[in-house]
Amino acid sequence: MNVRVMGEQFPIVGSRQTNNRPLKTDNGGQEAGKKILIVDDDAALVKVLSLSLEREGFEVVAALSGAEALRKAYESRPDLVILDIMMPHMDGWTTCRRLREIADMPIIMLTAKGDESDIVRGLDLGADDYITKPCSSEELKARIRALLRRVQSTEKTEWQATYDDGWLMIDLSRQQVNVNGEPVDLTPTEFRLLSCLVQRNGQVVPHRELLTEVWGPEYSDQVSYLSVYVRYLRQKIEQNPSQPAYILTKWGMGYRFAAAEG
């Protein structure tokens, strides 16, 4: 069974025609293993594109919203992003700008908006290519390969020390924190504590390690001191400080920073 999307037939997962083994690309498989983030609120299209790219040897990460795209970009560090524009809540324009603040990886806008003004706006926001739907999958894959070759011939993608999920933005290099678009004032101690947790995203940082790094070795046993500052941070960055989503407690061990769920 096949589905026809953008001028090409794609086998459905589970069909006898489907071959899940990666195929070699035209240039000897240099793109094999490259990670591509697809951002589109059309789940069916995301599935079809994912299947097509995975058969070429790419690793695919999918996001169905702008906020989810920011979180997954931060977590997975994609080599290239395919981005739709017309999405609810956070559209592709805003998502592109936010992604550009995080890294300089190639961004392809794949959208039904084909006016010249839209193309100019997308490129001005930092997109590297702009493709109007519908297009053939072969054209899309050719443009992906071209952009990846361009990146390989220059420097490796530079990622900034920035976390941004649409609600919470933390820029470690600029020592800036925004909540829902508004700047948040943190004391130097609060920022050092937050920075320590964010740089170990997803990892439980032991009490002693946090105390030593933020306050110094003479404070390594002051666990109650640490809990006070964790409470201060939660009050400033959490939507519901009594049910924190970012700074989580591992009882008897320490704390960890958790990227927001999409």
Pairing of strands 182-183, 254-257: unpaired
Residue 217 pLDDT exceeds 70? yes
Q: What average pLDDT does range 57-77 have in this prediction?
A: 92
* C-alpha span between 42 and 23 (Å, rounded): 26
- Locate the domains of the chain by residue range: 2-152, 162-257
Helix (H, G, I), strand (E, B) or coil at 37: strand
Residue 260 pLDDT exceeds 80? no
* C-alpha span between 90 and 93 (Å, rounded): 8
pLDDT (tens digit, 9 = 90+) per residue, 104-144? 888 999 999 888 888 888 888 888 888 888 888 888 998 89
- pLDDT: is 7 or 100 the higher one? 100
* C-alpha span between 95 and 102 (Å, rounded): 11
How would residue 160 be classed by pLDDT, with cut points 50, 70 and 90?
low
pLDDT, the chain, mean: 82
CATH topology for the 162-257 domain = Arc Repressor Mutant, subunit A (1.10.10)
Burial class (CB in 10 A: 0-12, 13-18, 19+), 156: exposed
φ, ψ of residue 152 in degrees (nearest 5): -65, -30
Residues 33, 61 contacting (CB under 8 angstroms): no
For residue 30, the model assigns a pLDDT of: 57
Residue 73 pLDDT exceeds 80? yes
How would residue 29 be classed by pLDDT, with cut points 50, 70 and 90?
low
148-152: long-range pairs with CB below 8 Å, 24+:
148/30, 148/31, 148/34, 148/79, 148/80, 148/106, 149/27, 149/30, 150/106, 151/79, 151/80, 151/105, 151/106, 152/30
Residue 25 identity (one-letter amino acid):
T
Residue 2 pLDDT exceeds 60? no
Lowest mean pLDDT among 15-19, 114-118, 257-261: 15-19
Helix (H, G, I), strand (E, B) or coil at 163: strand
pLDDT (tens digit, 9 = 90+) per residue, 34-59? 999 999 999 999 999 999 999 999 99
pLDDT (tens digit, 9 = 90+) per residue, 163-197? 888 889 998 888 899 999 899 998 888 898 999 99
For residue 15, the model assigns a pLDDT of: 30
Q: What average pLDDT does range 80-93 have in this prediction?
A: 93
Residue 11 pLDDT exceeds 60? no
Positive or negative: CA dihedral 3, 8, 11, 13:
negative
The alpha carbon of 130 is separated from its chain's Cα centroid by a whole number of angstroms, namely: 20
Q: Which residues contact residue 157 at a Cβ distance below 8 angstroms, ignoring those fewer than 6 apart?
A: 77, 79, 103, 104, 105, 151
Residue 210 pLDDT exceeds 70? yes
DSSP category for residue 103: B
> In this structure, what token pair is assigned to residue 24?
């070699």
Query: For the structural domain made of 2-152, what CATH number should be given?
Result: 3.40.50.2300
For residue 4, the model assigns a pLDDT of: 39
> In this structure, what token pair is assigned to residue 72?
């997954």
pLDDT (tens digit, 9 = 90+) per residue, 222-252? 888 788 889 999 999 999 999 999 999 999 8
- The answer, as to whether pTM is greater than 0.75, is no
* C-alpha span between 192 and 226 (Å, rounded): 12
